[in-house]
Amino acid sequence: MTALTVPMKQSMKNRFIPPTSAWLTLAVFVLFALAVPRFATFGNIENVLRIASILCIVACGQAIVLILGGIEFSFGSSVALASIMTVLMLPDLGVAGGFAAGAGVILLVGALNGALIARFDLPPFLVTLGMLMAVAGFAATLAGGLPIDAPLTDAFTWPARGRVGGVPVPIIAAVLSLIALYGLLTHTHIGRLWYLVGANSEAARLSGIRVRLTIFAGYIVASGFCALASVILTSRVGSGQPGLAPNLPFETIAACAIGGIPLSGGQGRASQVLCGVLIIAMMNNAVVLLNLPVAYQQLMMAAVILGTVVLQRASAPIQVMWHLLARRGGSQ
Amino acid sequence: MTTYVAPVFEVQGVAKHYGATCALRDASLRLFPGRVHALLGENGAGKSTMVKIIVGAIQHEQGATTIDGSAVRFRSVQEAIAAGIIPIYQHLSLFPHLSIIENLSAFSYGSTRSLSAKSATISRQEAETWLKAVGLDLDPETPVEALSLGERQLVEIARGLGQKCKVLVLDEPTAALTQEEAERLFGVVRTLCSQQTAVLFISHKFDEIDALADDVTVLRDGRTVIDGEPRANLTRTDLVRAMLGEAVDIAIRDLPPPGDVTVRASRLQLHANSSPFDVAVRAGEIVGLAGLVGSGVLELASALAGARSAVSGTLKVGERAIPLGDRGRAVAAGIGYVPSDRHAEGLFPMLTALQNASASIIKSFSTHGILHREVESESILPWLQRLKLHPFQPDLQAGNFSGGNQQKLLISRSLSLPQLRALIVLEPTRGVDIAARETIHEAIIEAARNGAAVVLASSDLDEVMALSHRILVVRHGNVECELPWGAGRAALMQSLAGRAAA
């Protein structure tokens, strides 16, 4: 077997291929930096990152579900329910307990989604869409239809407005989420199983993988990211709101798609989530800086989603070629 | 030679690249009316690319194609069909939820400009005529999903016959057919030929080429190496040499005598109306399973692998009982499994070759939920080398490999099990070229030599006869009889057809 060690070493080289979305992100940044006044200032970039952080954290969860070949809509109302639950529990449980109660509710919704999808082979689209509506109805009933204000103590506003070493807490949370997603996907057992089940669930079953458990775990971990985001979101708005972030699931799916994660499952990387989120955040920011009507934001978003999906599709053969050339160079 | 007849379709010096890979360099092919033209070549030789160019699915970069002497360049499959080039694909392209008659109308749905599906649907009589032409006596309203795999293939061919067919392209048409259905198909092809249709026939099976082909073209490495020679002028050795570029040695088996019983299925009942039976496979023994389509042979094999549940019965590996249909426990007990449908049941096309091969042993290279990818490479790469994965790029997506190399990945997945006690292989070399076939056979024999109990289920009788210590013949969901090694083809055919029992 000693003769086999040489090609083994070689195969470990050249693992990194720059994704199309990374170039795209760079291009968007350079374009806006040149064309949009006040875009490339330190204060503005920090602002962009802080606003993008919630989207980024939830998109990490969405990415896991997409890799599994599923989709998750219920984030849209579960963050609303969590905010209400947090505010209602504040008097009894204190700040930490309130946030934990809100996060717990989201984990519960995730577990319920996972159980229905994994155990009964129900389509994720319908299960999570149904859950989105059910949870929205429940949240509205619980709140009586109106936002409930929370006492704005320092501890309560810390997740949204605090700083650690000068860096805003939401940005730290988003970076940690991305690192956690990267670690889960590339360095853990369960992450590998998500890819296998998402790529071909029947082949995964026949390879001896517990497909249902893998799916169940995926929805719970995904809701964990959403739970983290809900803490920051509730802290930022300072109240329990039945209509808190209805577009969240769609924005996270858009971010993943723009980053190049296909909705067909089995593929997706943390770097793609980052790129997709950054592109959306920079665009929204540019619209504000240029004083364009908000409607432009939606039109631009639509154009970017369609444009990047087409671009990703067209660049797939180039990626394969890049891989082959890189390999050839590496083995010489 | 047919030099005085003009070719109905001609391909001259075409080239085609996919990214950095060159699929065709300089390939030519001439099809004559009324003749069956066999196209041969290893996987990766460019056969599929050639076929795709002919049927208009892709466009070539250099070279020319002509139909009836005038240059033509199909931009879509629709254009090719309109010109009379009718493809019958290796992977069935029927719509399972629609009825036979709707499937037969698919081409006219594709070309109609009317919004009404009804006006494009062919008449019932027409449908029945087409079905009769391929020897099927079925109600055209039957949904296609109710048909056997063999029947579906014939429906697909019937659909092709309904068109004004100048060239019929049959891409491995018999892969899923029983012997009887294949014979029926050959009859249909000969009838068509007598009506001046040109037939392009792609197959890996020499028996079929002997039975059917008038002319032969061989591709190797994207080039035409034998250009339309009459079949009668060539021996099988000539063909194999042309395909491989060198002579192949067939491995001679010298397995030690089998050991103790490793896999035991007791009172196994596959269907509600079949009777229970026992199967025992010893360590180091290769047991062949033979049976026609629908006989239950694949069900039996997958039940032995714990991949499929059964009505009743028990499955044991050594002393360890495995619940039927619990593939997770079966893998833990060391049962490797190579499923029959590579794409639906085996491959993770967008994951890397390495990740495909390691799918069953992830636990062995993870501790406390953390993966150790260097251990993964160390345990998998030797297998990929031994199976001569080509190109040897473990980080390339599995979907980019040829069929034979994808199959090698699935076999590595089983062979790499830390304690491989049993290996259940279904159709290991379907649609696989000769060189890969040799490698895969050697790997199966090697697994038996190392003490695994091997079960080999294949519709390729030559394969089953060459590799098995004994052959179990499956009919109607039962093990009908057992044949010892060297029983001969005639005896096997007879028990398959059930004449001995009658």
Is residue A10 one of the residues assigned to a domain? Answer: no
pLDDT tens digits for range B132-166: 877 788 888 888 888 877 788 778 878 877 777 88
For testing the chain B interface, which of A5, A9, A187, A200 should be mutated: the one with the most B CBs within 10 Å? A200
Average pLDDT, chain B: 86
Give ipTM to 2 decimals: 0.86
| Token pair listed for B428 | 């290991």
Nearest to A200 among B20, B348, B363 (CB): B348
* pLDDT exceeds cutoff 70 at A5: no
* pLDDT exceeds cutoff 80 at B43: no
Radius of gyration of chain A (CA): 21
* pLDDT exceeds cutoff 90 at B115: no
CATH number at residue A279: 1.10.3470
pLDDT tens digits for range B254-272: 677 889 999 999 999 998 8
Entry field: residues in chain A: 332
Q: Are B12 and B403 in contact (CB under 8 A)?
A: no
Q: How many beta carbons lie within 10 A of that of residue A9, not counting itself?
A: 9
- Indicate the number of domains in chain A: 1
Predicted local distance difference test score (pLDDT) of residue A329 = 44
Give me the CATH code for the B9-244 domain, please: 3.40.50.300
Q: Do B331 and A207 touch (CB under 8 A)?
A: yes
What residue type is assigned to position A301 of the chain? Answer: M
Strand ranges (DSSP E) for B68-185? 70-72, 85-88, 167-171
Residue B178 has φ and ψ, to the nearest 5°, of -75, 165
Q: How many beta carbons lie within 10 A of that of residue B232, not counting itself?
A: 9
pLDDT tens digits for range B343-397: 999 999 999 999 999 999 999 999 999 999 999 999 999 999 999 998 899 999 9
DSSP string covering B55-81, please? Answer: TTSS--SEEEEEETTEEE--SSHHHHH
Predicted local distance difference test score (pLDDT) of residue B501 = 42
Task: State whether residue A108 sits within 8 Å of chain B by CB.
Answer: no
* pLDDT exceeds cutoff 80 at B36: yes
Task: State whether residue A63 sits within 8 Å of chain B by CB.
Answer: no
Please report residues of A whose CB lies closer than 8 A to that of B362: 189, 192-193, 209
| Token pair listed for A85 | 């639950």
Task: Provide the pLDDT confidence category of residue B278 given band limits of 50, 70 and 90.
Answer: very high
Predicted local distance difference test score (pLDDT) of residue B1 = 46
Average pLDDT, chain A: 88
Q: Minimal Cα distance from B372: which residue of A?
A: A187
Q: A 193-232 residues with CB below 8 A of B?
A: 193, 195-196, 199-200, 202-210
Could you tell me the residue ranges of all domains in chain B?
Answer: 9-244, 261-497
CA distance A38 to B229: 74
Is residue A1 one of the residues assigned to a domain? Answer: no
More confident residue, A15 or B473: B473
More confident residue, A219 or B18: A219
pLDDT tens digits for range A74-99: 999 999 999 999 999 999 999 999 99
Is residue A31 one of the residues assigned to a domain? Answer: no
* pLDDT exceeds cutoff 60 at A326: no
Nearest-CA distance B52 → chain A (Å): 18
* pLDDT exceeds cutoff 50 at B440: yes
* pLDDT exceeds cutoff 70 at B485: yes
Predicted local distance difference test score (pLDDT) of residue B263 = 95
Give the highest mean pLDDT range of B90-99, B144-153, B377-386, B485-494: B377-386
The structure tokens 């049941």 sit at B345
Predicted local distance difference test score (pLDDT) of residue B20 = 57
Is residue A34 one of the residues assigned to a domain? Answer: no
In Å, how far are A41, A176, A218, B457, B470 from B428, measured between CA atoms?
62, 46, 33, 8, 18
Q: Do B377 and A327 touch (CB under 8 A)?
A: no
B261-497: which CATH number, 1.10.10.10, 3.40.50.720, 3.40.50.300, 3.30.750.210?
3.40.50.300
Q: How many beta carbons lie within 10 A of that of residue B139, not counting itself?
A: 12
Question: Residue B53 class from Cβ within 10 Å (0-12 exposed, 13-18 middle, 19+ buried)?
Answer: buried
Task: State whether residue A8 sits within 8 Å of chain B by CB.
Answer: yes
Is residue A153 one of the residues assigned to a domain? Answer: yes
Predicted local distance difference test score (pLDDT) of residue B251 = 42
Nearest to A199 among B350, B392, B396 (CB): B350
Q: Do B349 and A196 touch (CB under 8 A)?
A: no
Q: Minimal Cα distance from A323: which residue of B?
A: B396
For testing the chain B interface, which of A12, A195, A200, A207 should be mutated: the one with the most B CBs within 10 Å? A207
More confident residue, B237 or B201: B201
Nearest to A189 among B18, B345, B369 (CB): B369
Predicted local distance difference test score (pLDDT) of residue B29 = 92
Is residue A18 one of the residues assigned to a domain? Answer: no
Q: Are A84 and A242 in contact (CB under 8 A)?
A: yes
> Matching CATH topology for B9-244 and B261-497?
yes
pLDDT tens digits for range B213-235: 999 999 887 889 899 889 888 88
Parent domain of A145: 41-314
Q: Which residues have a Cβ under 8 Å from the Cβ of B130 and sit 6 or more positions away? A: B104, B122, B158, B159, B161, B162
How many helices, marked H, and strands, marked E, lie in chain A? Answer: 13, 4
pLDDT tens digits for range A158-203: 999 999 999 999 999 999 999 999 999 999 999 999 999 999 999 9
Residues of B with CB under 8 A from a CB of A: 18-21, 307, 327-328, 330-332, 337, 339, 344-351, 355, 359-360, 362-363, 366, 369-371, 373-374, 377-378, 381-382, 385, 392-397, 400, 413
Please report residues of A whose CB lies closer than 8 A to that of B371: 186-189, 191-192
Q: Minimal Cα distance from A267: which residue of B?
A: B350
Is residue A302 one of the residues assigned to a domain? Answer: yes
